[in-house]
Amino acid sequence: MEVVITTTVEDAGRVVADVVTQALHGGARVLGLATGSSPLAAYRELARRHREEGLSFAGVRAFLLDEYVGLPASHPQSYARVIRTELVDAVDLDPAGVHGPAGDAADVLAEARRYDEALRAAGPVDLQVLGIGVNGHLGFNEPGSSLASRTRVKTLTARTRQDNARFFTGADAVPRHVITQGLGTITEARHLVLTASGEHKAAAVAAAVEGPVTASCPASVLQLHPRVTVVVDEAAASGLAQAEHYRDVLAHKIAGQGY
């Protein structure tokens, strides 16, 4: 696992954008996309590189991590709509090649299985962008999720509904259920890049990177993956016991080492 600690959120966004850019230049054709606040700086930077430097996503397909049950893709807070606004419309990603679970499917259990199979058929995902919940969730795999889980319907914790209340009229308006890629599904991607910022994420980042591998911190499953890049600002890195070593590694990288 490579841990990159940056001074600001914008710097973290540039590093994540570098990882995505390298993947695209290296021939990546399937991207995994997270929504929420964490990847926004990276998506803004990718949009800038597309506008000003000709970075192209042509021919790339993208798969979302998760979706709220009950929200149609037209709902302003559906992740299908959010990713459209935050990234797809700002670059040359073909909207027809951007996939997510249908939160308004009549049979959401079957929809979760269908999505998992679609991912398997299209995959493996070359690069998966990830955020992390304050409680260590990855995708919407809340604490207690099997580390081997596949895409399925999950129930959000009260904490996550509270955290996401800012996108709705309040916590009660946040859907209770989601369809989320499982931890086993997510870790099939070739390369995982997780980004977090702010002190409220520090404990979760420390548990995921340096704590025991446990379903109690779903993001700790990253430790089992051979290629992970964690990009955090100083506040989110403030709980890391080995922070000095990560900085040292970065300062003395040899050509080709790391992301």
Catalog residues that contact ligand F6R under the rule CB under 6 A: 34-38, 65-66, 79, 131-133, 137-140
Closer of 140 and 259 to ligand F6R (Cβ): 140
- With 0-12 / 13-18 / 19 or more C-beta atoms within 10 angstroms meaning exposed / middle / buried, residue 193 is buried
Which residue number is nearest to ligand F6R in terms of Cβ?
131
Task: Convert 210-251 into a string of H (helix), E (strand) and C (coil).
Answer: HCCCECCEHHHHHHHCCCEEEEEECCCCCCCCCHHHHHHHHH
Closer of 36 and 211 to ligand F6R (Cβ): 36
Q: How many residues in the chain?
A: 259
Closer of 97 and 131 to ligand F6R (Cβ): 131
To the nearest whole angstrom, how small is the minimum distance from the Cβ of residue 198 to ligand F6R?
8
To the nearest whole angstrom, how small is the minimum distance from the Cβ of residue 56 to ligand F6R?
24
Of 96, 175, 162, 111, nearest in space to 135 by CA? 162
**Cβ atoms 119, 184 nearer than 8 A:** no
Closer of 11 and 56 to ligand F6R (Cβ): 11
To the nearest whole angstrom, how small is the minimum distance from the Cβ of residue 6 to ligand F6R?
16
Distance CA 149, CA 63 (A): 17
To the nearest whole angstrom, how small is the minimum distance from the Cβ of residue 132 to ligand F6R?
6
